[in-house]
Structure 1
Amino acid sequence: MSHGTRHGGHRARAGVLLSCLLALVSAACTGGPERTQGSGAEGPAAEGPLVVASGLDVTGSGSVRQQLIEEWNRRHAGSKDRQAKLVELPGGADQQRSQLLGALQSGSARYDVVNLDITWIPEFAEAGLISPMPVPESGAAADDALDFIRQVYATTEWEGRSYARPFNTDVGLLYYRTDLLTRVMAADRLPTATWKWDQLYSSVKTLELNPVRPDERAGWTTQLKQYEGLTVNTVEAFADARIELTDSEGRYTSNADELRKGLDTLLDRVDRGRVQPAAPASDETASLTDFVEGRAVFLRHWPYAYGALGDLMDPDAYDVNRLPGKAVLGGQNLAVTADSPRADDARALITFLTSRESERCLLDAGFAATRDSAYHREKERCWPRVAAALRPAGDTPKAASPGEDIREEQPQAERDAYIQTLGAALTGAVQRPRTPYYGAFTQVLQTQVHALLVAESPDLDEAAVKLDSALRDVFAGR
């Protein structure tokens, strides 16, 4: 499909943000130089707690990560040296990556465990900043490793070795306004797990939506601001066009013709989907705001939005399903730093934090769990004291103050259906390029694709040739 002059408003600012509940960080990484794996046997004995460095908790759940650390500490109350401490790094993903790289390369901060975005694993491994994890060949440990969702576990690997354990994962989902859709179509025409993008375009056409200003209702919205959200949306469009940018070893495998096809698919979503005019300036918070306030009928977002929507909207006003097409994996993995003097204890802590019970706690709190067993209620339960800490105080619903709207708890059947949808979406998800040069890759992609999105008359041929040349340099380390 050719793309000529585009509808105006693409440079408009994102809509007004909601409450602090939506002050979220952007979400949803090995075989390098061998480093001595610390075990506490060499050098002076380490003092103080095991230190886990992580980004901020985006779920608004009362920090389930902190609650899991406290559960570990309770279970090791008699061992001062095995206590653990969570250090949350400020800023967005790019800032956190820079902080961690600087700290580990300089030794300026003593971290034993780092919670890394899945795209950082090859870079940190190649630089020798994290240690390979032991390979369980048989027994209970090997059986336990098989419980991780295969696609998710693959994000811990680089050059044939695993350098981490999956902590929480992420995947794109399609949220939609049932209250708006059912005004013009029957319930049996609402999104299903087998929907394609053409069906979304058809629904938007039925709704007769054609927004030109940010205050007008659009067909859908997503994260097209010049940051990692744009990379994710672009890679999803490329995956639907059957374009893989690299092979498993990070070598560039595409060309200008393929890139043009992928870029055309992305622009199709913008034009035929009648995207919110504010989308090129929207991140997770802004796009969720537009959806909640009725400025978009469909929304591509991460799983934590499901919990946020439960606090912001009537449960009958929206629903969620798999994306119509490929969805990209996000999430974080826990790795032992190469210079940790207590690597054995650090690995034991990681084993606890990624256990079946802990993963169920993460799922209950709003993260996407990394284990298959977490998606089966009859198999696993969250640690009781963690579950109690995450639950609102007391079992009795609070009384409403005069004029206060108290939302009902979501029925368990609907929650179970959502969990099954999430689990299915994860098993079919795709990865972003696996490369030690991911930081350079995503910056190049964001810059060139965003320029294309905001152009009044985009030239796809020229954009594809330019992007092809830039990506060849990036993936060659130039």
Structure 2
Amino acid sequence: MTCGDRRALRRRARPAAALGCLLALLAAACTSGPEGTEGAGQEQAAEGPIVVASGLDVTGSGSVRQQLIEEWNRLHAGSRTRQAKLVELPGGADQQRSQLLGALQSGSARYDVVNLDITWIPEFAEAGLISPMPVAGTGAVADDDRDFIKEVHATTVWKGRSYARPFNTDVGLLYYRPDLLAKADVEADKQPTEDWTWDQLYSSVKTLGLNPVRRDELAGWTTQLKQYEGLTVNTVEAFADAGVELTDSEGRYSSDAGELKKGLDHLLERVDRGRVQPAALSSDETASLTDFVEERAVFLRHWPYAYEALGGRMDPKTYAVNRLPGKAVLGGQNLAVTADSRRADDARELITFLTSRESERCLLDAGFAATRDSVYDDAAQPCWPRVAAALRPAGDSPKAAATGEGVPRKQEADARAAYIRTLGEALAEAVQRPRTPYYGAFTQVLQSHVHALLAAEGPDTAEAADMLDDALRDVFAGR
């Protein structure tokens, strides 16, 4: 029997196969060649580092995730078997999802911990690729779990069981240009406040007197409407503002054509061509941020990491941030233990460290949104000192200090404190995208139908809603 056969049989959890493989191991017969090199390699792999698979760090912070792994390794320097290793997966979210699914289903890569987009949890849990987290009803562990923001922690749950711990979260925010508003003599009562609405944003845009028809012209606002996940997020936010819910808590389709038309009408109003930057239809996070920086949009819907990113590109006096009008969608990633990890106990302990109060503060300082309520308090635990030192911005380099090139210009302390309060409040009231094992199929169908509607010269939302309703019924039924 080959080692590949042994792994496949083990995944099916057949006792006879397990016994057969044990006998084969005792007989030293489970090898791929005459020297038994594959069997030896597997034995060595079981003693190797705790392997964490994750997407790339988009904050440009100096890789806070890697720095946290290194801090864990320093704290466990005396134990060779407790060391951890971060493996960053290339490509966008869809590519990373495919890589992780393929690796875990085939057993081709030995990952102990996977950093999953929050929308993937039901799919990976339903497929048996990740393990449920231990249930802690009382005591210190339970109290620690309750420190996670309630709606953020809910993203780890599928069918009543938690399969992960929240690592870094995300939520839509509204960035704006006070300098451009002042230049256009927009009065204070037409500028963002804590309880701003979309109608007030539309009114401010109207006051600006803008009607862009070319990509290089100044527009009232911009966002991410390219056919990718950003379009799904913008659509779900518009639907949520219109009171449209696509699924129930168990991932069953709960809408209809009439409700979908209401949501699509709301989205079309939001991205009216005289209101939104013409380039938005082909913009992702990077392109929309560039349009904002280069004065082609006064308002911008974006994620929290943009707050730190803008520090390296703009004068702090020229940008500000507030809560997104209406509903904002949650994003982020959760850490889960793989179902076939040989280091499950160590993996869970590593996850506890990576999601601790100190580690979450490090993530917030680096530009991510933290997942714990306590991190947004004035008396929050500080970031691990050595991690904080490693996350110094590029402007701290001798060359940057001498030339001024690339030196991030930070917001004042009171402005940053206000931003952190705003972020915490936005997270507490954010909404989720549909919770379903078929999320990959759902988001592709939604993007395809909505992008076609937005690109049409004379969009017919009734017809589009009928077609989308039929498609979503198939998707959520697993067809």
TM-score normalized with structure 1 length: 0.89
The equivalent residue for 1:79 is 79
Q: Which runs of 5+ in 1 are unaligned?
A: 1-32, 37-41
User: Matches of 2:448 and 2:410 in 1, distance apart?
Assistant: 43
2:136 is the alignment partner of 1:136? yes
CA separation of 1:271/1:469 partners in 2, compared to 1, >3 Å: closer, same or farther?
same
Q: Name the SS for the 1:244 alignment partner.
A: coil
Aligned to 2:18: none
CA–CA distance in 2 between the matches of 1:438 and 1:402? Answer: 48
Partner of 1:251: 252
Q: Residue 196 of structure 1 corresponds to which residue in structure 2?
A: 197
Per the alignment, residue 299 of structure 2 pairs with 298
Task: Indicate yes or no: 2:310 matched with 1:309.
Answer: yes
Deviations 1:248-277 (A, max 9, x none): 000000000000000000000111771110
Return the letter of the residue paired with 1:438: Y
SS in 2 for 1:278: helix
CA distance in 2, matches of 1:96, 1:47: 26
Determine if contact 1:227/1:446 at 8 Å carries over to the other structure.
Answer: yes
SS in 1 for 2:434: coil
Partners of 1:255 and 1:141 lie apart in 2 by: 42
Distance 1:336 1:144 in 2: 19
How many angstroms apart in 2 are the aligned matches of 1:332 and 1:407? 26
Give ranges in structure 2 of 5+ residues lacking alignment: 1-10, 15-21, 26-42
1:403–1:127 distance in 2 versus 1, CA, 3 Å? closer
For residue 391 of structure 1, report the CA deviation from its aligned partner: 2.3
CA gap 1:399/1:289 in 2 versus in 1, 3 angstroms: closer
Q: Is the 8 A contact 1:238 1:263 kept in 2?
A: yes
**Structure-2 change in CA distance of 1:85 and 1:251 (3 Å):** same
Displacement over 6 Å in runs of 4+: 33-36, 393-399
Q: C-alpha displacement at 1:393, in angstroms?
A: 8.3
Identity level (%): 80
2:412 aligns to what?
411
Return the alpha-carbon distance in structure 2 between the equivalents of residues 399 and 473 of structure 1. Answer: 55
Return the offset for 1:328.
Answer: 0.2
Matches within 5 A, 1:175-254: 175-183=175-183, 184-254=185-255
Indicate the RMSD between aligned Cα atoms, in angstroms: 2.0
Quick check: 2:366–2:391 contact (8 Å CA) kept in 1? Answer: yes
Q: Deviations over 1:30-56 (max 9, x none)?
A: xxx9989xxxxx996812100000000
Counterpart in 2 of 1:457? 458
Q: Which moved more, 1:411-420 or 1:238-247?
A: 411-420
Q: Which amino acid aligns with 2:350?
A: L
Counterpart check, 1:387 vs 2:385? no
Distance 2:347 2:407 in 1: 43
Cα distance change, pair 331–405 in 1 and its aligned pair in 2 (3 A)? closer
Deviation at 1:189, TM superposition (A): 3.3
1:174 maps to 174
Q: Could you tell me which residue of structure 1 aligns to residue 156 of structure 2? A: 156
Report the Cα distance in structure 1 between the residues aligned to 2:461 and 2:102, rounded to whole angstroms: 38
Query: What secondary structure does 2:365 align onto?
Result: helix
TM-score (norm 2): 0.89
Cα separation, 2, equivalents of 1:354 and 1:360: 9
Which has more helix, going by share of residues? 2
User: Quick check: 1:307–1:366 contact (8 Å CA) kept in 2?
Assistant: yes
| More off after superposition, 372-381 vs 458-467 | 372-381
Does the CA contact (< 8 Å) of 2:174 and 2:301 recur in 1?
Answer: yes
1:475 to 1:147, Cα distance in 2 relative to 1, 3 A: same
Matching residue of 1:280? 281
Which residue does the alignment assign to 1:441? 442
Distance in 1, Cα, partners of 2:286 & 2:218: 17
Correspondence for 1:8: none
The corresponding residue for 2:19 is: none
Separation in 2, partners of 1:66, 1:399: 24
Letter in 1 for 2:149: I
Q: Distance in 2 between matches of 1:145 and 1:200?
A: 38
| Cα deviation, residue 397, structure 1 | 9.6
Tell me whether 368-377 or 100-109 shows the greater mean CA deviation: 368-377
Question: Structure 2 counterpart of 1:57, which letter?
Answer: D
Q: Secondary structure at the match of 2:179?
A: helix
How many pairs are equivalent?
Answer: 441
Residues in 2 aligned to 1:382 and 1:406: alpha-carbon distance in whole angstroms: 22
Contact 2:395 2:405 in 1 (8 A): no
Match of 2:426 in 1: 425
CA separation in 2, counterparts of 1:117 and 1:407? 29
Residue 438 of structure 2 aligns to which amino acid in structure 1?
Y
Indicate the SS of the match to 1:341: coil
- The answer to whether residue 372 in structure 2 is matched with residue 371 in structure 1 is yes
Shift of 1:175: 0.3
Give, in angstroms, the shift of residue 69 of structure 1.
0.2
Matched residue SS, 1:312: coil
| Displacement after TM superposition at 1:222 (Å) | 0.3
Distance change in 2, residues 1:227/1:257 (3 Å): same
- Relative to 1, partners in 2 of residues 1:366 and 1:148: Cα closer, same or farther, differing over 3 Å? same
Q: Distance in 1 between matches of 2:277 and 2:389?
A: 40
Q: CA 1:384–1:440 in 2, change beyond 3 Å: closer, same or farther?
A: same
Residue 406 of structure 1 and its aligned partner are, at CA, apart by 5.1
Contact 2:181 2:298 in 1 (8 A): yes
Whether contact under 8 Å (1:50, 1:112) holds in the other structure is: yes
* Residue equivalent to 1:355: 356
Aligned equivalents of 2:74, 2:143: Cα separation in 1: 27
SS in structure 2 of the partner of residue 368 of structure 1: coil
